[in-house]
Structure 1
Amino acid sequence: MAEKRNPVNSDSCGAPGSDGADSGLTPSQQDMLERCLHALTHANNDSHTLAALLLITRLCPANQLDSATLKRVFEAVGLSLPARLLVTAMQGGTSSGLPPEELVTLGTALLAALSTDPDMAAHPQLLSTIPLLLGLLADGPGWTPQMKAQGWPKTDQEGQSSSVQNENGVSLDKEDTEPQTAPDMSNLEQSKSTPGEPGEHQGSEESLNSKEGVKTGATKPRTPTTCLDKALAVDCYQILSTVCATDRGPEQLLSRGAVPALCRAIDHKQTLSQEKALPLLGHLLSSHVRPIAWSKHPTELVSLLSAISTEFCHASGQDQLDMCTQLPHFLPPPGGAPESKDLKSIVSQLWGALRPMVQAKVTSAQLGPILVLSACLLDLFGWELVGTPKFCCLLVNRACVEVRMGLEELPGTDLTPVQQHVLTACYRIMEAAMEQACSQGFVEDPSQLRTTTTGLSLQQSRQVLGVLEEAFSAVIYYLQLVDKSHHGDPFIFATFRSLCAWLAEETSCLKDEVIALLPFLINYAKEHLEGESPGKGLLNWMSEMSVNDTSQGGTWTGEDALRYLLPALCHLSAEEGPRQVLLTLDTPALLVGFLERGWGALKGRGGVCGTRDPSMETACSALLNFAVTEADRVRKDPCFVSLQCLLTDALPVLLHKPRLLVLAANFCTLGLMIGRLKPAPKGRALTAGPGPAQVSTAWVEWWEEVAELWRLGLQALAGCVQVQPWLAAVAREGGWLGDTLALLSSCSALPDPHTKGALEEALVAVARQCPLCREEISTFMVESKGVLHSMTQLHGALTHCPTT
């Protein structure tokens, strides 16, 4: 409906039958409202229905009807009547006795009133009218002579309109609005009250009868125009806005062509397009459908952004500051920006207007939107278009100062949502600066130090790192004060993520402060991984922000917090002090749990993976640091037993997945480093003793069944060594060769000739492929008086193989 009226005295409305003192209606007015509702429910035709509606809206404006009353109105009227009014008007029907503009006015007024209830705003019948409303707003009224000359409405071969279409091809099929005929309004005059009575056609613009759309007798046709009536436009935008506010509203509008239609309305400067269409489009594009909208309609959105950018560059003072707040809504999502020279030119133009604003003396409240817009532009094209190195340093410095001012407040000071939004933008500027400054490297001649983007000198890089260190000191201070009950807050996650990005690059600064913060960092990541946090707010925030983990399809999985922390853990686990703290926090078990989840998800997809998951590889690197430096912990900690089981299960699969060979290499190395610390396995098949070798106690019961398999295994080993010579070194380094030679040197005989032949075949293969193995066998041969000395084929292999 049109602009809202303040609910005062008798104009406010409560639930029917409620106390008049509470509802604002006298008993007689409430009785009249009930009678009108009864008449509406039992109306015999559309004329009676409309008359009852007029009486109800005279008593109580539509936007002030309570939900229960509104639902009673909906049940009586339904959405079929307003939909028929719209379709009949757009198709040029005249059977109703009213001109098209009157039908559209009345239909949109009814829809606007009914849409104030969220359930009705999501009703399929109301949603089916969205293409018609968008067509009205984008192209003006379709009943004007100009539109009819262009063939409006579109018709099929029989001359009957098969659907109502706008220029964009968005249509409303017949089955969505059956029946197509609008009600006959000719006898409506008889249903109306005389002036001054409750049913009189008067009142504010908010009520259903505010549009001059219901008049007695014949009405004069309006002057043909391509501009939409303002009150009618208000109703259309109210319907679209209430739909957009529902849970699935953005998807419903997007799928029905809202983006190109609203862009066209703004481009053609249609009625209320700046006041209503632009904010509605901004709300739509700032929702979770933003990436889809940009992928479907890049041309229209780039054109719109160009117009807004031009206006921003020509604005000044407070107008320009206000536009800083709105512009981010119309930028493409990072990573999803279309490859367009026009877009790059627009961003360059925006930076040109932003530079004087960043350099100006402004208050903190004024600087906030400037920094937010700067962060959004950095997300798109990095530092390439920002400006001179001096300006880049200034931008980073202003962001760092804002972070320090915001986070170093006294404990107990809560940050407002606006402050949190600004600080989150500052984090993004700091992260981008850190990447640039840390990538400078060091050269003997500082004058030669330049990058392809910012061109920072070595001195400037050091200055940037200095202000970043001060800012992250404030971040650490703030996180130390965070209560566990706030771990699900989006701003805490943004702060945590920013610190992790810094720790991934820089762990030498603020070492003591970082070590002191490790309990918070580990516990925060563990809570999210195990599902103890996050709140709904964080889930919604993650679904809309560009920080989503792309390896997991862009959705929050609970692993994201640990994923951001992993690079820092890789560095910290390599240093003695931080590593000991990490061990007390049971960090290896956390990392093993992460790998188990990752491998479980990968195995569930059959090992199919579109891209590598660097996080699993980084987790392996951190665990490798523990395996190399903490042998006792590896031997005793049960999590490393679980890890070995995982590696044993995963490695055979990964070796056959070309895209996962890096992960396979990590798994293999990690498994070998853990395996070297394990005690030698017991329970060998044969044991030495005085006289002949004996079958060991563990095997003796089953020897008749497994003896042949054991010998075949030795023959297979010989064959594998011939094909893969490196296995000979593994047999030696793993202890098999030494144990076997010791057995054969100390026993006078083996259980049977076949066993001796299998062992000799394996030893011959090893001797031929590995010089170190030959040397070790020769040593035993010289000193042996047992079975080993009688192996003639082995003697021959040692004699005929070249010496080293």
Structure 2
Amino acid sequence: MSQSGLEQYLDRLRKARSDNEIFACLLVITRLVQANQVDGETRRRIFDAVGFDFLNRLIATSVVPEGCSEHIFSSLALTLLACFATDKELAADPQMLTKIPFFCEVIGSGVGSSKGEVLSMAADALHCLTAISLIPVVRQQLINRATAAVLVQQAVIGCDAASDIILRLACSERKMLYSGCSDQVAWFVQHLSRLFKTDQGLTKFAVCKKLIVLISPEIQTSWQELGNWQKDIWLGLNDILCSKITPQYCQDALGLARNVVEVVGMKWVLAGVQDSSSVHSDFILLLLHRIVVETKMCLDRETVKEVLESEVLVSNCFYLLEHYIHLLVTEGEDSLLSQLVSRLHRTIEDAIKDVISFLTTVAMSETSEKALFLQHGVVHASVRVLCVWMAEETASLKDIANLVPFLVGLGQQSLITLMKESQASSEDVFAGNDVTRFLLPAVCHLSSEDDTRHTLIASGCHLLLIDYFVWKIDLFKHQLSLETDSLDIQDTQAAVVTCCSALLNFCVMEPHLIASDSNFHRLIQSVFSFVCTSEMDQHVVLHLNCICLGLMILQSGSVTNSNLQEFFKKTSHDLGIVYKFSEDCTTCRVSEHYQKYWTDIRCLWSLAMQALSSCIRTYSVARQVILDWEWPSLAARWIKKLSRAQEKPDTLSESSTEKQEAEVSFKQLIVALSTSA
């Protein structure tokens, strides 16, 4: 049709006085629409002449002229809607969105049909859904209006457009999709997993990419064990890892392995080990070998910049490597895994050597380049996996002594960044780049050895720990006030506890440092603030760590602080309620509330009591406030009766060790109280 002919029909369309006249014009115009001969301006002119109201009447009309197809009105409406949906503004129009259920109904009716008209209508409807899915602001409407079942049905029978819509929703509206359409997503994952297992061509790798998007921590626990999707993926990956594949395919395979481990844990990797008769029982070694090979190939590149270009692959490798290290720690004694432990350990050790070499290169880089390198995810992932290894493999701590200044400096830089972000936002900042958090377990080990502890001090690690503690404890109190998600609070609490452990090593091993460095006065102020304003029974382990840390700092030197009396009062009360004496003082047991925490706080309580006894001799105010409580006199009576009765195993508890520890701690305190009078 010529341009003049089109203009003629558009003019008639604008002047049409009845639906029949509009319909007649549209029958001609839709031929152009179907042939994709309409540009954006013409599409708008057609819409302005027709509008949604006429299309609504077409869809609602069930009676058709004699001799016409029963779908003639709906078919015409869908053709026009598919045309209009190409315009983003029209695709996002509320009138278009209200037709989503209609589109789903049409698509569903096309399943199994061989009629060309029905299939064409289904294609137009799917085109409309695709157009809507491409617009972020209205994409959620596809989930709200229950399209998942129809889309999955289409995707399972091979419709790429439907599959693309699901993947688009999984990328941008993941939580909403997985919470509202869990069963449908599970069905799709099972289908793809079976295809991933059975296909031996390029389709396997295309499916792998789709599974990477869909396998996510948001997966509902109700279908994590549903069907055989885990085993199917395991078998499919085994085929890939046994083959010669391109670097991109390898990256995808490791990415999928990473996602499955993130969802179900390393038990999935152990599947072959648990079945010794399986021909795939070496999968755990096969996967680790591929991880180490890819790590080496990436980290051995000529320049740091080239290494950083492989961020996705390196991050996936290091994530899996971390979980292999945890596996050796938690499952190393397992009879099924014990025969592989030495091989796994040697292989991981090789990878860690490459990580150390890479970080050494980064540390020695030019200052101008290093600033950029230190912000990169590959460097942070390298530090993280190295710290996980250092936290468990104490035999290799000396191998990284030269890296300590670099690691401490990176921790300081990341902390400054996190503190700035937290000040600029009222919400919790993303802690994924919290390098100090990665370092803490390793620092606990490093600070227990003389040589490495001195290196830490020379690098200013104790200052980093002080800054980190002050920031984290304030963050913890802020999270409590906002009733933040419990997982975030638990993570913050765990970080503070580990930080306390590292700081306690410095307090015990380097008392002269505590007495001479004024930064510890800033730390004690933060400790005082927390201990005096929180209740021990709510966060027992954290609270007792802070009490112990505060007392250890105080015993290292004379500290003047306006909160000193309040701190000693609160501390002596909290330490005293851990044990409970009988009315006649013949028995002394750990209070019921604290029994479930005893494994974690047992040594802390003894160390805190020892430090408190020492503080009594240094701070006169300590003796005064302690005597205000009843428990010191009860402890004295109990010790007297214990001495008279000599050894009576049933007078304290079933554990004679527990009795001895309590007796020693209480005796030290009573002696301190009497000699300081």
- Classify the secondary structure of the residue corresponding to 2:270: coil
TM-score with structure 1 length normalisation? 0.60
Letter in 2 for 1:590: Y
Q: Distance in 1 between matches of 2:308 and 2:512?
A: 49
2:276 corresponding residue in structure 1: none
- Equivalent position to 1:661, from 540, 546, 557: 540
1:138 corresponding residue in structure 2: 108
Are the aligned partners of 1:569 and 1:622 in contact in 2 as well (CA < 8 Å)?
Answer: yes
Letter in 2 for 1:434: I
The answer on 1:321 being equivalent to 2:205 is: yes
- Equivalent position to 2:349, from 451, 466, 471: 466
C-alpha distance after superposition, 1:96-149 (max 9, x if no partner):
9975523333333333333334444333322222122122223438xxxx9xxx
Letter in 2 for 1:673: M
Q: Distance in 2 between matches of 1:306 and 1:764?
A: 65
Q: Distance in 2 between matches of 1:334 and 1:136?
A: 31
- Classify the secondary structure of the residue corresponding to 2:105: helix
Map of 1:536-547 to 2, 5 A cutoff? Answer: none
Are the aligned partners of 1:371 and 1:426 in contact in 2 as well (CA < 8 Å)?
Answer: yes
1:246 corresponding residue in structure 2: 135
Q: Distance in 2 between matches of 1:93 and 1:478?
A: 78
C-alpha distance after superposition, 1:465-494 (max 9, x if no partner):
323323423652575567545766666655
The answer on 1:596 being equivalent to 2:474 is: yes
TM-score with structure 2 length normalisation? 0.70
Q: Distance in 1 between matches of 2:414 and 2:347?
A: 29
C-alpha distance after superposition, 1:210-259 (max 9, x if no partner):
xxxxxxxxxxxxxx867874443333233222322332454322222122
- Equivalent position to 1:262, from 142, 148, 151: 151
Q: Distance in 1 between matches of 2:498 and 2:168?
A: 39
Are the aligned partners of 1:140 and 1:227 in contact in 2 as well (CA < 8 Å)?
Answer: no
* Cα 1:607/1:34, change in 2 over 3 Å: closer
* Cα 1:731/1:260, change in 2 over 3 Å: closer
Q: Distance in 2 between matches of 1:607 and 1:376?
A: 23
* Per-residue deviation, 1:402: 0.8
State percent identity of aligned pairs: 21
Map of 1:170-319 to 2, 5 A cutoff? Answer: 229-267=118-156, 269=157, 273-285=158-170, 287-319=171-203
* Cα 1:679/1:315, change in 2 over 3 Å: same
Q: Distance in 2 between matches of 1:139 and 1:42?
A: 36
The answer on 1:517 being equivalent to 2:402 is: no
* Cα 1:232/1:579, change in 2 over 3 Å: farther
Q: Distance in 2 between matches of 1:258 and 1:618?
A: 47
1:405 corresponding residue in structure 2: 297
* Per-residue deviation, 1:626: 3.9
Q: Distance in 2 between matches of 1:459 and 1:730?
A: 43
* Cα 1:763/1:238, change in 2 over 3 Å: closer
Q: Distance in 1 between matches of 2:135 and 2:622?
A: 78
Please, what is the CA RMSD of the aligned residues?
5.1
C-alpha distance after superposition, 1:237-285 (max 9, x if no partner):
3322232233245432222212222223345x4xxx4332223223323
C-alpha distance after superposition, 1:490-529 (max 9, x if no partner):
6665555444444443463541453253155314522541
Q: Distance in 1 between matches of 2:161 and 2:281?
A: 40
C-alpha distance after superposition, 1:379-435 (max 9, x if no partner):
324223245663312211111111221232222654798x54333322232122122
* Cα 1:465/1:422, change in 2 over 3 Å: closer
Q: Distance in 1 between matches of 2:513 and 2:116?
A: 78
Map of 1:341-740 to 2, 5 A cutoff? Answer: 341-343=225-227, 345-379=228-262, 380-382=264-266, 383-387=269-273, 390-411=282-303, 413-414=305-306, 419-439=310-330, 450-451=334-335, 454-473=337-356, 476=359, 480=363, 483-485=370-372, 494-506=381-393, 508-509=396-397, 510-512=399-401, 514-519=403-408, 521-531=410-420, 556=430, 560=434, 562-574=436-448, 575-576=452-453, 577-583=455-461, 586-605=464-483, 612-613=490-491, 614-631=494-511, 634-635=514-515, 640-655=520-535, 657-658=537-538, 660-679=539-558, 681=560, 733-735=614-616
* Cα 1:70/1:740, change in 2 over 3 Å: closer
* Cα 1:322/1:411, change in 2 over 3 Å: same
- Classify the secondary structure of the residue corresponding to 1:317: coil
Letter in 1 for 2:419: E
C-alpha distance after superposition, 1:703-760 (max 9, x if no partner):
xxxxxxxxxx9xx99xx99x99999999864347996999xxxxxxxxxxxxxxx99x
* Per-residue deviation, 1:346: 2.5
C-alpha distance after superposition, 1:16-62 (max 9, x if no partner):
xxxxxxxxxxxx97x99999989888876665599589769959987
Are the aligned partners of 2:292 and 2:348 in contact in 1 as well (CA < 8 Å)?
Answer: no
Map of 1:114-129 to 2, 5 A cutoff? Answer: 114-129=84-99
Q: Which has the higher contact order (CA 8 A, sep 6+)?
A: 1
Which is higher, the Rg of structure 1 or of structure 2?
Answer: 1
* Cα 1:624/1:232, change in 2 over 3 Å: farther
Letter in 1 for 2:495: S
Letter in 2 for 1:362: I
Structure 2's unaligned 5+ residue stretches are 274-279, 563-568, 586-604, 637-666
Are the aligned partners of 2:555 and 2:614 in contact in 1 as well (CA < 8 Å)?
Answer: no
Map of 1:87-166 to 2, 5 A cutoff? Answer: 88=60, 92=62, 94=64, 99=69, 101-140=71-110
Letter in 2 for 1:356: D
Q: Distance in 2 between matches of 1:604 and 1:451?
A: 46
Are the aligned partners of 1:401 and 1:471 in contact in 2 as well (CA < 8 Å)?
Answer: no
Are the aligned partners of 1:486 and 1:492 in contact in 2 as well (CA < 8 Å)?
Answer: yes
Are the aligned partners of 1:108 and 1:235 in contact in 2 as well (CA < 8 Å)?
Answer: yes
Are the aligned partners of 2:384 and 2:438 in contact in 1 as well (CA < 8 Å)?
Answer: yes
User: Which of 459-468 and 50-59 deviates more?
Assistant: 50-59
Letter in 2 for 1:116: T
Q: Distance in 2 between matches of 1:426 and 1:65?
A: 48
Are the aligned partners of 1:602 and 1:609 in contact in 2 as well (CA < 8 Å)?
Answer: no
Question: How many corresponding residue pairs?
Answer: 587
* Cα 1:653/1:71, change in 2 over 3 Å: farther
